Amino acid sequence: MSVSSINPATEEIIETFEPHSQVDVDAALAKADERYAHWRLTSFDERAKLMEKAAEVIESRVDDWAPAMSREMGKPLAQAEGELKKCAWVCRHYAEHAEAYLEDEKIKTDASQSFVRHLPIGPVLAVMPWNFPYWQVFRFAAPALMAGNVGLLKHASNVWRCALNIEDVFREAGFPDGCFQTLLIGSDGVENVLRDRRVRAATLTGSGPAGASVASISGDEIKPTVLELGGTDAFIVMPSANIESAVETAIDARVQNNGQSCIAAKRFFAHEDIYDEFRDRFVEGMKALKIGDPLADDTKIGPLAMKSLRDDLAEQVDKSVAAGAKPLLETPSLPDKGWWYAPQILEEAPESAPAAHEEMFGPVASLWKVSSLSQAIDRANDSPFGLGSSICTTEKTEIETAIRDLDAGSTFVNAKVASDPRLPFGGVKSSGYGRELASDGIRAFINRKTVSIA
Ligand code: NDP
């Protein structure tokens, strides 16, 4: 059955694709296996030249691909442009640093020489989401290819134009055929690929159920996985914070990518001494955000990427309000066509409300008043997720306490959580396991071979 990309701002079909058949998928797996046998023997220099070229190809396409990305999944245009430039950055980062990240680790023993050598493992499957349709793929692909592995992409079914463009980047950059291939398959085609003996590992960014499925099949096949799943990141504001800048950061952290980001701050805890000021400014700032055509220069909030996401979010908000959460913003009139959801702040959602414990994938913030940092941290940690966390304060002891006690994969101080090729990225608890980016990312799918020479 053909698969269509639908513009979430207009509900119009943009393009229709024919999925790959089982024969196509088998051919791709054979090609990946064959290519890996040669690619693993290439030097870091050869790989780096091609990866630099990939960065150039991406940069040369920003003007075409950014609007196409906005049309396919609703991201405001400036953010789409920023995403593509960040993809070029991650390619250059690994072109420059891969060799150092993977250099031998010498270890002194009784042998004349002993060390760990980092060797590639083979074809790796990446199951990727639509929310950062280029970035999520390149942050896997750049380290994987620089390490000597080859990549297979199963992208989300609503962004297949992005998926095909990514394959083109590597082709145009001159990577040999089979280094990186896009498989146009649905989620029901993933198990078959994961169980194929030629596929050696998998990485998934997406929802918990998708992650659990990929991890359990991979576990059954004894294949390593990295999972980057959802989050309900806490954002704590203490009395010493610069409130104006905390509000600005809070809004940016919550509504980036129309609120559809795993590392978006979703639960806000403000100290009682500054609560009223923070809340009032937060409300004003969220109210002022321009909702509209993602291609317009001044748009801050576009539509949600799919109807199901909009409907799920609306249900979570309705249930939270019914449970006692207080909505602080009125809903403006929105276009009839398209999957819009206006920014909202829910105050004091009770424990039973979805806003207190579920991931809200859209521009909806939950806000609570707290009387101390320890109360804020206890509430922040009372979540199945543990991806990122932020605290706004200038008190050294509060910063140290937050770093020590927030149960999350990262803590950002006076800043929103953001991924950076130089820093490891990942979560704890139901947010997943393993780390992407930096040296951790390139070592995720590596054989750390022990060598001992008598
Ligand atoms: P999914 O997790 O369903 O989709 C992400 C990717 O996983 C897609 O490529 C999808 O393929 C694939 N997938 C889905 N189910 C399976 C499965 N059982 N086995 C293998 N692959 C699978 O996310 P949704 O798009 O449905 O979004 C739902 C929720 O997930 C969001 O509301 C949000 O909470 C969370 N999410 C988190 C993301 C993050 O960045 N951490 C990103 C996206 C979503 P296909 O598209 O073909 O179904």
* Count of all residues that appear for the chain in the document: 454
The pLDDT-based confidence of 418 (bands split at 50, 70, 90) is very high
Cβ of 230 less than 6 Å from ligand 1: yes
Q: Is the ipTM of this complex over 0.90?
A: yes
User: Among 304, 135, 266, 128, which residue's Cα sits nearest to residue 207?
Assistant: 128
Q: Assess contact for 304 and 341: CB atoms under 8 A.
A: yes
The single residue listed with the structure tokens 């050294």 is 396
What are the tens digits of pLDDT across the range 222-251? 999 999 999 999 999 999 999 999 999 999
Domain extents for the chain? Answer: 3-229+431-453, 233-420
d(CA 11, CA 405): 45
The pLDDT-based confidence of 429 (bands split at 50, 70, 90) is very high
d(CA 376, CA 373): 5
The pLDDT score that the predictor gives to residue 69 is: 98
The pLDDT score that the predictor gives to residue 65 is: 98
CATH assignment of 233-420? 3.40.309.10
d(CA 283, CA 420): 29
Express as a percent the part of the chain with pLDDT over 70: 100
Nearest atom in ligand 1 to the alpha carbon of residue 154 is 9
The pLDDT-based confidence of 64 (bands split at 50, 70, 90) is very high
61 contacts: CB under 8 Å, gap ≥ 6: 84, 165, 169
- Planar angle of CA 193, 195, 200, nearest 5 degrees: 85
The single residue listed with the structure tokens 């693993």 is 40
Taking the centre of ligand 1 as the mean of its atom positions, its distance from the CA of residue 44, in whole angstroms, is 33
Q: Which of 228, 347, 398, 436 is catalytic?
A: 228
Which residue puts its alpha carbon closest to atom 46 of ligand 1?
A: 156
Radius of gyration of the chain (CA): 23
Cβ of 205 less than 6 Å from ligand 1: yes
The pLDDT score that the predictor gives to residue 170 is: 98
The pLDDT score that the predictor gives to residue 311 is: 98
Q: Is-catalytic flag, 228?
A: yes
**DSSP characters for 184-222?**
---GGGHHHHHHSTT--EEEEES-HHHHHHHHHHHHHTT
Q: HSE of 414 in the Cβ direction (CA atoms, 13 Å)?
A: 13
The residue type at 173? A
The single residue listed with the structure tokens 């950055």 is 89
Q: How far is residue 164 CA from its own chain's centroid?
A: 19
Per the structure block, which two tokens stand in for 433? 């396991």
The pLDDT score that the predictor gives to residue 138 is: 99
The pLDDT-based confidence of 141 (bands split at 50, 70, 90) is very high
The answer to whether the 3-229+431-453 and 233-420 domains have the same CATH topology is no
Which residue puts its alpha carbon closest to atom 18 of ligand 1?
A: 210
The pLDDT-based confidence of 71 (bands split at 50, 70, 90) is very high
Cβ of 129 less than 6 Å from ligand 1: yes
- Planar angle of CA 351, 356, 359, nearest 5 degrees: 150
- Planar angle of CA 95, 211, 131, nearest 5 degrees: 60
Which residue puts its alpha carbon closest to atom 6 of ligand 1?
A: 129
What are the tens digits of pLDDT across the range 330-343? 999 999 999 999 99
User: Among 58, 64, 134, 132, which residue's Cα sits nearest to residue 95?
Assistant: 58
d(CA 22, CA 30): 12
Cβ of 186 less than 6 Å from ligand 1: yes
Per the structure block, which two tokens stand in for 175? 């990577």
Average pLDDT score, the chain: 98
427 contacts: CB under 8 Å, gap ≥ 6: 228, 229, 231, 385, 386, 387, 388, 408, 409, 433
* Other beta carbons within 10 Å of 369: 17
d(CA 116, CA 102): 10
d(CA 142, CA 441): 10
The pLDDT score that the predictor gives to residue 163 is: 98
Q: How far is CA 80 from CA 124, 162, 303, 336, 410, in A?
A: 26, 12, 14, 25, 25
DSSP state of 346: E
DSSP state of 240: T
- The whole-number average pLDDT for the span 201-216 is 98
The pLDDT score that the predictor gives to residue 369 is: 98
The pLDDT-based confidence of 101 (bands split at 50, 70, 90) is very high
Taking the centre of ligand 1 as the mean of its atom positions, its distance from the CA of residue 51, in whole angstroms, is 28
What are the tens digits of pLDDT across the range 397-414? 999 999 999 999 999 999
Which residue puts its alpha carbon closest to atom 42 of ligand 1?
A: 206
Q: Assess contact for 153 and 160: CB atoms under 8 A.
A: no
The pLDDT score that the predictor gives to residue 173 is: 98
Taking the centre of ligand 1 as the mean of its atom positions, its distance from the CA of residue 305, in whole angstroms, is 12
Per the structure block, which two tokens stand in for 95? 């072109």
Taking the centre of ligand 1 as the mean of its atom positions, its distance from the CA of residue 130, in whole angstroms, is 8
Which residues does residue 226 pair with via DSSP β-bridges, in sequence order? 203
Q: Could you give phi then psi for residue 21, rounded to 5 degrees?
A: -85, 170
The pLDDT score that the predictor gives to residue 228 is: 98
CATH assignment of 3-229+431-453? 3.40.605.10
Q: Assess contact for 133 and 68: CB atoms under 8 A.
A: no
Burial (0-12, 13-18, 19+ Cβ within 10 Å), 404: exposed
- The whole-number average pLDDT for the span 259-282 is 98
